[in-house]
Chain A
Amino acid sequence: MQEVEFSDILTAQEDGDYIVNIGPQHPSTHGVMRFVVSLKGEMLDYVVPHCGYIHRGIEKMCERMTYPQIIHLTDRMDYLSAHMNNEAVSILVEKALGVEVPERVKYIRTILSELQRIASHQLWWAAFGMDMGGLTCFFYGLRDREKILDIFEESFGSRLLHSFICPGGLMGDIHPNFQKRTKEFITYFRKKLPEYDQLLTGNIIFEQRTKGMGIMSKEDAISFGATGPTGRGSNFACDIRKKFPYSAYDKVDFKEILYTEGDSWARYKVRVDEMWESMKIIEQLIDNIPEGDYSTKMKPIIKLPEGEYSQRVETAKGDLGVFVVSKGEKYPYRMHFRTPNFSNLFVISQLCKGNKIADLIAISGSLDLVIPDIDR
């Protein structure tokens, strides 16, 4: 593996190569992200991502916030996996305090995570189609995502940033309509998901722009730490839900989707298949939510015992790790988030090498990047 330095880019200029800046305000980066691209003619040589345009210092802000207050900041990292981010911090605090949450909470958390995963993949599918020039996909993906957002809005009052899962359980109980509407959505989406295949999967232009593009080997995936559907497209079995089950994932039966090709097409197929698997998980749980409290009684001021704690969850983008150093106070001494998008982003230099510049957006789109999660 070749080390890519910014100085390499500068020296490349002397050889007569082009240095092109893509971003920070490029519509296809889905956020503020700058790629410095070195070109040999039309072929990509190096791609150096520059991040930090929307760095908000969330990790530092966490050091002055109590644990329940941290929850609302984690929403704003990867806003498409807000429930999973909340869940990561909540499970960490519960594990550190030795609190056992009720079964009802575990079931609801799992259902919410899977609904959120479907919503995230739908938005990705919509935006990925649009990156390739298919504007129809964008409307169709958002149309189905709206159904999930309505379910969320009815139960938690918000569509994107929920802050619903908190240490000790949930902020409130689910709405009485929640189960009915979720079941309605599953039957609706089982009919609509084949449309996705009809529109995009079989499309000749889409196939030619993704098959064989941006090939990532399993070794690259492991050494760069690319997780989630990005890593699983390269046959890297990294699903935290399978390897280290949390919440109610040990009670459900689902398949870890693995593809061996490692190209954009494989990453696309992983995500579409994951939507089917998520629906299967929700169907297994939605009728069996046990009765009980939606929260355990927590102390008004939560103080973690002195020590170091960590927790991993599987978000829609990959493996989110939370690490806390506590000195026994109500604030964490140090809080670190290992966000999946950050690791997934830096594979791009490896993937783009030898491809044409027009494929840069297609390849970066297949990585499913959420820029606030990279900068946090």
Chain B
Amino acid sequence: MNSVGKYFSDIFYGIKSLWKGLMVTGYYFVHPGTIVTQQYPENRKELKMFDRFKGEVILQHDENNFHTCNGCGICQLNCPNGSLEIITDSVTNEDGKSERIIDKHIYHLSMCTFCGLCIKACPSNSLAWGQEFEHAVFNREALTKILNQPGSLIKKTPKEPKAPKPVVTDTVPTSNPAN
């Protein structure tokens, strides 16, 4: 008799536990407003990524096609995978001195791991993250990009006059702790 009672109580407990789970799924079935799924290919127009989204590395250009990269190569040194490659050129500027400019700033997207070390290390803040994320292409060569736009030039910042050195008036310590 005891085992028969246990048999039926087990069935009752099982149905009760399944019903508890069905209550949760049933709640969401009758509340379609709680759906959080994004319909991705349909919402491409209004889909906007966050400002800091790491889509790809870009070289920032302003509206007049000027960038700030002087080709120092620190990003290339910091990159763990060799995904950045800088080919520099030298030109003679108006002062008659030869100056280093970038010829090609090559970026291999296929090798990039998005660690952000190049952007953190850049002394002139010319690299940044781009928000583009649809990178699928048909051949691998298309993932090698040249970051500097054709015809772009380095932005010349007018040299700031050096701040005058603080004049040291009193070199003798006023109080000597040894005495």
Contact = CB atoms under 8 A, between A and B. Distances in A.
Contacts of B113: 72, 161
A195 B23 CA distance: 10
Given A69-B115, A69-B117, A72-B113, A158 B17 contact: no
Given A72-B115, A204-B13, A198 B21 contact: yes
A204 B24 contact: no
A204 B14 CA distance: 5
A58 to B, nearest CB: 12
A300 B13 CA distance: 65
Interface stretch (A117-125, A148-156, A357-365): A148-156
A140 B36 CA distance: 11
A143 to B, nearest CB: 6
A285 B116 CA distance: 27
Given A155-B52, A157-B52, A157-B54, A204 B17 contact: yes
B53 A171 contact: no
B115 A136 contact: no
Given A198-B21, A202-B20, A204-B14, A163 B52 contact: no
A146 interface: yes
Nearest to A194: B24
Interface in B90-129: 113-117, 120-121, 129
Contacts of B52: 153-157, 172, 175
Interface residues of B, number: 24
Nearest to A156: B52
Interface in A185-211: 195, 198-200, 202-204, 207
B40 interface: no
A65 interface: yes
A71 interface: yes
A68 interface: yes
Main secondary structure of the interface of A (DSSP, over half): helix
A204 B50 contact: no
Main secondary structure of the interface of B (DSSP, over half): helix
B132 to A, nearest CB: 13
B65 interface: no
A153 B20 contact: no
B160 to A, nearest CB: 23
B115 A163 contact: yes
Contacts of A143: 36
A202 B20 CA distance: 8
A207 B18 CA distance: 12
Nearest to B120: A171
Nearest to A154: B50
Contacts of B20: 198, 202-203
B50 A68 contact: no
Which among A195, A204, A300 has the greatest number of chain B C-beta atoms within 10 A? A204
B117 A68 contact: yes
B55 to A, nearest CB: 8
A157 B20 CA distance: 39
Given A68-B117, A146-B36, A198-B23, A204 B18 contact: yes
Interface in A300-341: 300
B17 A202 contact: yes
Contacts of A140: 24
Interface of A: 65, 68-69, 71-73, 136, 140, 143, 146, 153-158, 161, 163, 171-172, 175, 195, 198-200, 202-204, 207, 300
Interface of B: 13-14, 17-18, 20-21, 23-25, 36, 50, 52-54, 78, 80, 113-117, 120-121, 129
18 contacts: A68-B78, A69-B115, A73-B80, A136-B21, A153-B50, A153-B52, A154-B52, A158-B54, A163-B114, A163-B115, A198-B20, A198-B21, A198-B24, A199-B21, A202-B20, A203-B20, A203-B21, A300-B121
The 9 residue pairs across chains A and B that have the minimum distance between CB atoms? A72-B115, A157-B54, A204-B14, A69-B80, A157-B52, A204-B17, A163-B115, A154-B50, A202-B17
